[in-house]
């Protein structure tokens, strides 16, 4: 329908968007800023702040970043953006969206704010969807281009400042050598010394390369993202997102309902993830066995693989020092009798891991991801690594893969790699299906059944006397499982803690108008962000955009059951925040009343009348599709494994693609359904199992 439109947005379209963004947040009086920041800024700095960090439309870097975001999204999303902005700039068409004869750019700031509020509260889904897009894109982007004064006001250091994580720490100077790419377009690399090509370098890929290496096999690991040694992980948020995340960290579902974060750098998700190690829940393994025929999920083969990955990364609760948010889950849960506990961390025996910046890579190399840990055995025994190379297709003939077609991400030159006899696709649940689809494989499960573990956030504001200093400790060290099984089938929501960085805070805070938003942004260091994370009953799909290889179509909507699970988790979280002394409790939905109390923590009881009345009221307000901001950092099951044949999955229980004899899948995409627990350990466990089978296949082949 929109194919007659240009594919690329222009600055004129962004001008219209920026005029809308000004409705989300605009000029604030110095008095209001002072009310929140107190003495953190001098009066002169507050005046300067008010003059220079006011409306998005007056910040050139904001507009540049929006243009980049729109034009790196899918072609269809860019076109939709252009249509919307064109409509909003047309005197004839705009009133259908604005109910006004005045164009957005000619409206006063207050009129724009009212327009945004009317979209937020509209019974029309398309308008609420528009609100969600403007809200998330504006606040996320604004945080990424925040002025130094804003960062000073919120005590945000922007990057890891500690030289050493603890006394006596010695940094490991090891660096991987990256294999050079051919200079000539159309070249073919024929590699006889490599046994297996591995596509991707994330959680699954690392375990496969390690397992092969320990059995004497050599692999070539191909990663579309860039390799950074730990000492190079010293990015601002803007740099970190651009360098380490899929689509520069700006990926959203096509409906705009959910934003999606996935790692895309050497090490994949394990480079940016939050170290939390949780085993696959029993009921999930039972479901995989009962419904999808994964025999090994019910046996000690699974346990052995899981124990192996656990030990290899030194997962443990030793040395955990909780951040304020994590303390709330542990202590609040204990006081109220909720099922809360510490989460093991893959810190590899280090005595501490005080790294709240780990989402931009672990500068100290403590987190035992694929680069720090799993690929080391492979590097030591002759395996090779190539970064900034995108595998476009696995080449195959009559069900046998013969090579891969690659593109150098820097020069754009294409080349083939042939020679190795086996191929492992481990590009993660967003990309593995796209590589397979582009290669011409047709199984109907490729790209379907995508699960995302949708999340949303509850904010607890502890008042100006509390400085949460989110970056002094690890990000995620606690979990509450009180409502994570609402149907007896392990569907429900866990409560954990989200990385509380300004760009995530901005996208997830409820919007109640410009001044309220400004105040909440400035209260950043007094607030804790609690994560509600559901094991989804919803599923979606993913496919590529032929014109933009890094852009992905993610079709996904959060189901009513899952939204209710998040609501139940919200109530439990509110209890913990209340008992731990939060002065304000903010639902992610703007229309839910904020709970406020100045009663000291020591005098609070969960039966306090004002709290009980508020809780009863908010328990009746369902989570809306677009009224609540949703996100995902866990993508799974888009190439489901099945023990029941190709009608039920994309690969067999050895990870072998049903349509080819020498292609294996070994990443989160081959889980039959969502793992329920944070998926790194489950992904690695399955990858270990697939890799052990692959080693056997390589041996069998050698004997024949
Ligand atoms: C911000 C964040 C925090 C997280 N925190 C936790 C946590 O604390 N605990 C936990 O258990 N889980 C966590 N996860 C999830 C966990 O990291 C992932 O589930 C896991 O890494 C998935 O592994 P994978 O092998 O499927 O793919 P990934 O680890 O995502 O790796 C896939 C890699 O393949 C590359 N690739 C893709 N396509 C191609 C191609 N065509 N050519 C070449 N390379 C390609 C990608 O660039 C990427 O680097 C987190 C994830 C994120 C994003």
- In DSSP notation, 101-115 reads SS-GGGS-HHHHHHH
Distance CA 396, CA 441 (A): 10
Tell me, in angstroms, the distance from the centre of ligand 1 to residue 203's CA. Answer: 6
Task: Tell me the best of 225, 228, 263 to mutate to test the pocket of ligand 1, counting ligand atoms within 8 Å of each CB and taking the most.
Answer: 263
- Ligand 1 atom at minimal distance to the Cα of residue 268: 49
At 470 the pLDDT is 87
At 64 the pLDDT is 97
At 416 the pLDDT is 98
| Alpha helices by DSSP H, 580-608 | none
Tell me, in angstroms, the distance from the centre of ligand 1 to residue 101's CA. Answer: 48
Tell me, in angstroms, the distance from the centre of ligand 1 to residue 682's CA. Answer: 12
Which residue is closest in CA terms to ligand 1's atom 27? Answer: 428
Tell me, in angstroms, the distance from the centre of ligand 1 to residue 93's CA. Answer: 43
- Ligand 1 atom at minimal distance to the Cα of residue 635: 19
- Ligand 1 atom at minimal distance to the Cα of residue 435: 41
Which residue is closest in CA terms to ligand 1's atom 3? Answer: 273
Task: Tell me the best of 244, 268, 671 to mutate to test the pocket of ligand 1, counting ligand atoms within 8 Å of each CB and taking the most.
Answer: 268
Strands (E), 172-303: 187-190, 196-199, 219-222, 258-260, 276-277
Residues forming beta bridges with residue 674, ordered by sequence position: none
Which of these, 539, 590, 533, 557, lies nearest to 125 by C-alpha position?
Answer: 557
Distance CA 235, CA 241 (A): 9
In the set 26, 353, 491, 634, the catalytic residue is: 634
Tell me, in angstroms, the distance from the centre of ligand 1 to residue 202's CA. Answer: 5
In the predicted model, residues of the chain with pLDDT beneath 50 are 1-2
Which of these, 629, 307, 587, lies nearest to 456 by C-alpha position?
Answer: 629
- Ligand 1 atom at minimal distance to the Cα of residue 677: 11
Task: Tell me the best of 200, 309, 674 to mutate to test the pocket of ligand 1, counting ligand atoms within 8 Å of each CB and taking the most.
Answer: 200
Tell me, in angstroms, the distance from the centre of ligand 1 to residue 204's CA. Answer: 8
Residue ranges lining ligand 1, Cβ < 6 Å: 199-205, 222-225, 261-265, 268-270, 272-276, 359, 390-391, 426-429, 431, 435, 476, 633-634, 667-668, 678-681, 683
Using a 10 angstrom Cβ sphere, with 0-12 exposed, 13-18 middle and 19 or more buried, the burial of residue 262 is buried
- Ligand 1 atom at minimal distance to the Cα of residue 669: 26
At 2 the pLDDT is 47
Distance CA 511, CA 24 (A): 8
Distance CA 119, CA 626 (A): 10
- In DSSP notation, 469-485 reads -GGGS-S--EEEEEES-
Distance CA 558, CA 509 (A): 19
Which residue is closest in CA terms to ligand 1's atom 35? Answer: 200
634 is a catalytic site residue: yes
Tell me, in angstroms, the distance from the centre of ligand 1 to residue 587's CA. Answer: 29
- Ligand 1 atom at minimal distance to the Cα of residue 476: 8
The DSSP 8-state label assigned to residue 449 in this structure reads S
Q: Alpha carbon of 399 to those of 224, 494, 659: distances in Å?
A: 25, 42, 6
Which residue is closest in CA terms to ligand 1's atom 31? Answer: 202
Tell me, in angstroms, the distance from the centre of ligand 1 to residue 265's CA. Answer: 9
Which of these, 196, 204, 248, lies nearest to 220 by C-alpha position?
Answer: 196
Which residue is closest in CA terms to ligand 1's atom 50? Answer: 273
Which helix (H) or strand (E) is 625 found in, with range? Answer: none
Contacts of 638 (CB under 8 A, 6+ apart): 429, 430, 432, 433, 446, 447, 448, 449, 450, 541, 542, 669
At 1 the pLDDT is 45
At 701 the pLDDT is 61
Whole-model pTM: value is 0.97
Task: Tell me the best of 243, 273, 347, 453 to mutate to test the pocket of ligand 1, counting ligand atoms within 8 Å of each CB and taking the most.
Answer: 273
The structure tokens 């700006």 sit at 250
Contact, 640 vs 449, CB < 8 A? yes
At 703 the pLDDT is 56
Contacts of 71 (CB under 8 A, 6+ apart): 8, 9, 78
Distance CA 128, CA 110 (A): 19
């Amino acid at each position: 329908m929109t194919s007659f439109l240009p594919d690329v947005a222009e600055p004129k379209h962004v001008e219209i968007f920026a005029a809308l963004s000004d409705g989300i947040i605009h000029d604030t009086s110095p008095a209001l800023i002072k009310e929140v920041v107190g003495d953190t800024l001098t009066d002169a700095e507050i005046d300067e702040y008010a003059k220079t960090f006011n409306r998005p439309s007056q910040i050139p870097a904001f507009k540049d970043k929006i243009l980049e975001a729109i034009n790196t999204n899918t072609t269809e999303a860019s076109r939709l953006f252009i249509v919307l902005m064109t409509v909003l700039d047309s005197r004839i068409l705009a009133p259908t969206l604005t109910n006004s004869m005045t164009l957005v750019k000619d409206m006063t700031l207050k009129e724009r704010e009212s327009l945004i509020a009317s979209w937020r509260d509209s019974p029309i889904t398309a308008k609420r969807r528009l609100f969600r897009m403007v809200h998330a894109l504006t606040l996320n982007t604004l945080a990424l281009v925040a002025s130094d004064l804003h960062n000073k006001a919120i005590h945000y250091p922007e990057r890891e400042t500690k030289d050493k994580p603890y006394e006596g720490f010695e940094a490991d100077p090891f660096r991987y050598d990256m294999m050079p790419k051919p200079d000539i377009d159309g070249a073919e690399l024929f590699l006889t010394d490599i046994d297996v090509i591995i596509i991707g370098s994330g959680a699954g890929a690392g375990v496969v390369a390690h397992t092969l290496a320990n059995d004497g096999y050599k692999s070539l690991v191909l990663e579309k993202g860039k390799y950074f040694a730990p000492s190079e992980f010293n990015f601002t948020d803007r740099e970190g997102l651009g360098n380490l995340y899929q689509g520069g960290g700006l990926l959203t579902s096509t409906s705009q309902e959910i934003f999606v974060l996935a790692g895309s750098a050497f090490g994949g998700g394990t480079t940016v993830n939050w170290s939390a190690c949780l085993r696959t829940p029993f009921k999930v393994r039972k479901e995989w066995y009962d419904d999808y025929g994964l025999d090994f999920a019910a046996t000690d083969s699974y346990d052995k693989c899981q124990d192996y990955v656990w030990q290899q990364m030194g997962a443990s609760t030793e040395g955990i020092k909780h951040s304020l948010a994590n303390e709330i889950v542990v202590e609040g849960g204990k006081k109220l009798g909720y099922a809360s506990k510490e989460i093991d961390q893959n810190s590899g025996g280090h005595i501490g891991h005080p790294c709240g910046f780990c989402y931009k890579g672990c500068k100290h190399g403590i987190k035992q991801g694929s680069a720090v840990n799993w690929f080391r055995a492979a590097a030591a025994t002759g395996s090779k690594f190539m970064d900034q190379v995108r595998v476009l297709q696995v080449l195959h003939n009559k069900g046998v893969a013969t090579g891969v077609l690659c593109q150098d991400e820097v020069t754009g030159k294409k080349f083939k790699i042939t020679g190795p006899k086996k191929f492992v696709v481990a590009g993660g649940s967003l990309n593995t299906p796209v590589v397979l689809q582009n290669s011409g494989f047709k199984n109907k499960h490729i790209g379907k059944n995508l699960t995302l573990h949708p999340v949303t956030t509850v904010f607890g504001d502890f008042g100006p006397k509390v400085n949460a200093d989110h970056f002094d400790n690890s990000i995620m060290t606690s979990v509450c499982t009180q409502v994570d099984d609402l149907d007896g089938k392990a569907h429900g929501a866990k409560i954990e803690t989200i990385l509380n960085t300004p760009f995530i805070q901005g996208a997830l805070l409820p919007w109640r108008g410009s001044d309220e938003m400004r105040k909440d942004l400035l209260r950043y260091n007094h607030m804790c962000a609690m994560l509600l994370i559901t094991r989804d009953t919803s599923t979606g799909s993913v496919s590529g955009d032929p014109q933009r290889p890094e852009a992905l179509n993610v079709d996904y909507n959060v189901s009513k059951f899952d939204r209710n699970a998040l609501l139940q988790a919200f109530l439990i979280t509110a209890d913990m925040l209340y008992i731990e002394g939060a002065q304000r409790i903010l639902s992610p939905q703007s229309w839910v009343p904020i709970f406020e109390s100045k009663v000291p923590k020591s005098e609070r009881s969960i039966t306090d009348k004002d709290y009980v009345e508020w809780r009863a009221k908010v328990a009746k307000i369902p989570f809306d599709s677009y009224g609540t901001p949703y996100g995902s950092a866990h993508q799974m099951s888009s190439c489901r494994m099945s023990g029941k044949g190709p009608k039920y999955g994309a690969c067999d229980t050895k990870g072998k693609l049903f349509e080819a004899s020498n292609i294996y899948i070994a990443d989160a995409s081959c889980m039959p359904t969502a793992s329920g627990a944070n998926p790194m350990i489950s992904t690695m466990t399955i990858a270990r199992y697939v890799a052990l089978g692959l080693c056997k296949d390589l041996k069998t082949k050698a004997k024949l």
